Amino acid sequence: MSEPRLFSVKMRASRGSEHVSGAERIVAPSAAPETVSALVRRALGHSKGDPDFISLKVAAIGDVLRIKALPVATETASTPGEGLAIAERLLREAGVERASEVVAMLAAAGPMRGAMLVDADTLERLEPDKARGVRATCMDAAGAQGRLPPSSKSHYAEAIVLASKVAAAPGIVAELCISDDPDYVIGYVASRSTGYRRITCMKEMGDAHGGRIFVCRGIAGDPSNTIRFLEETPVLVEAIPMPDGTARGNRLDGIKREIDAIRTSGLWRETRVLEMRPEGCAMAGGREVAVLSSNDYLGLAKDPRVKKAAADAAQSFGAGTGGARLTTGTQPLHVKLEERLAAFFGSEAAVSYATGYMANVGVISALAGRGDVILSDELNHASIIDGCRLSGADVVVYRHRDMDDLAGKLSRCGGYRRRLVVSDGVFSMAGDIAPLPKMLDLCSQYDAFSFVDDAHAVGVLGATGRGTAEHFGCPRADLTVGTLSKALGAEGGFVCTSRMLADYLVNRSRAYIFSTSPAPAAVGAAIESLRILETEPDRVRQLRTKTAYFAAELRKRGIAAETQSAIVPVEIGDESKAVAVAAKLMERGFLIPAIRYPTVARGKARLRVAISSVHSCATLSAAAEAISAILPGMKSR
């Protein structure tokens, strides 16, 4: 009996001459449409950034060759130098005597869309088009023909498939590969004699350089049969093993290697235990430090009235609610909070969530789905990015705060059912503000929903702390998300919107429907914080005055410092240097975190100073002095 008809689906994405992403599947006809969609989403979500060209090819294929996957083993390397030395050894084991020269060829190669086809003895390159190289295509894992591909790149399985096909090609002696993905440091050497040998570190994290070489022998006179097999013969690879058989006892090996890579790249993070004290101070490690990293912008988290309101709510309504909002989790306090939020922000209705993160994820994924498009600022918060991904909608990223770019992209989105433009109000790592009036004009012009996350604007922007819209004196977005966890000093998230959209969210937002409702203590605290903010707007003025004072103190000492909010970034660049500066500041009694990848782009590490209205001018001046004293010393190292 012949096999059912199959289709090859290939995706290639590029930006100018740079390769961004590539993937392919061999699928049953019923899976082809969804596979095409999934591969396009993958191309648009690559860590290298958005491509400007995506090529898709869907073609029926004939007879399929089934081969066994290469056996797998792992070679552990702690540095790229160790990894390249291991690669040389493995190539020699595979019969490549000039192994060091082959490795050097790959290290010196520029960007190329395919692989080099190199004679093992002469090192002559045999591919007809040197700029294009040779591509191993038309292949997949056996058994995956009815399943969608993963949403992100599955490096291990895809590499095994490719390496197994290459090893089966006539004349191939070995393959050397280093991924060009900046977030993937593993490479491999593969051959029929050695199997697939994963090398745990072959480049630095963040390095986008990579490539592959197919080493051959005996085909220099006519490489056409080898190239034809690599590029045209459909292959399904069977019995792909787990790396080193790690399904059982060694299943944590991969986790350990990732941890080691994070540590060596200066991106390791650890929690720090703090006992908060008044006036923006805390006990940390047995000593008192000034905390210039908290989002408690108005000092309300320690306000005695807010703490009493939390205690009273817990005493009256219990420690928890015992259910989701639509079952048993709605208490009088939840209704009161939503009424107070709607009144304070001048909206028809408000819907509360357990956290601000869940508010963003819950609102975006409820309002947009397949057939819709979301246009998202490139520096939006991770919770917005996750909401976009979970929605299933197409996502178009526009340049940071660039309304001309947004306008151009909106103009090309007329065929979608819904258009949703999403932006932070205040961007949490730079402290700059979205151009809300122009954004609202564009949304009106192109019939798009407007969405603003005011997490870092509530209690900060506007004369009375009502956020970005008050700052500009313009209408609010269709949906304004906020958090109770920052300037309001409590915990939870919310969205202010129209009554119709609020009712829609109550019925469609999974983060609302399936989450236990916020605890009474947090809700009681938030209600009291809102009352204080409404009756004591001078706190907002104090925050603005102290932020301006701190920025001026930095500039007085020769450090560039500009902000439109309560967040003052101090640019450093190098990740390891930023961590070292933050550590030295901690030694001097100032908790100011180093912000680095993936929170910000690589090479854009910074100190993120968050000002509170309870900070004294003396503390702010001393912090500026400490930063200025440490930075010149770090520059000279």
571 touches 596 (CB < 8 A): no
Among 26, 35, 230, 235, which residue's Cα sits nearest to residue 132? 230
Residue 517 phi/psi, 5-degree rounding, is -65, 155
Please classify residue 263 by burial: count the beta carbons closer than 10 Å to its beta carbon, then call 0-12 exposed, 13-18 middle and 19+ buried: exposed
Residue with tokens 């949403």: 151
User: Active site residue: 456, 546, 577, 604, which one?
Assistant: 456
Q: How far apart are CA 353 and CA 345, in angstroms?
A: 17
The yes-or-no answer on residue 438 being catalytic is no
Tally the C-alpha atoms within 13 A of residue 193's C-alpha that lie toward its C-beta: 10
User: Active site residue: 486, 546, 577, 615, which one?
Assistant: 486
Strand order in the sheet with 72-75: 72-75, 195-199, 187-191, 172-178, 211-216, 116-119
Q: How far apart are CA 603 and CA 605, in angstroms?
A: 6
User: Active site residue: 428, 450, 509, 529, which one?
Assistant: 428
360 touches 381 (CB < 8 A): yes
The yes-or-no answer on residue 486 being catalytic is yes
The yes-or-no answer on residue 428 being catalytic is yes
456 touches 425 (CB < 8 A): yes
Please classify residue 598 by burial: count the beta carbons closer than 10 Å to its beta carbon, then call 0-12 exposed, 13-18 middle and 19+ buried: exposed
Residue count (the chain): 637
Q: How far is CA 115 from CA 16, 128, 143, 211, 621, in A?
A: 19, 12, 27, 7, 57
Which residues make beta-bridge pairs with 26? Answer: 8
Helices (H), 411-449: 436-445
468 touches 457 (CB < 8 A): yes
Q: For the stretch 198-214, what's the b/e string if a residue is b when 16 or more beta carbons lie within 10 angstroms of its beta carbon?
A: bbbbbbebbbbebbbbb
Helices (H), 347-435: 356-367, 382-391, 403-410
Residue with tokens 């998300």: 481
The catalytic residues are 428, 456, 486
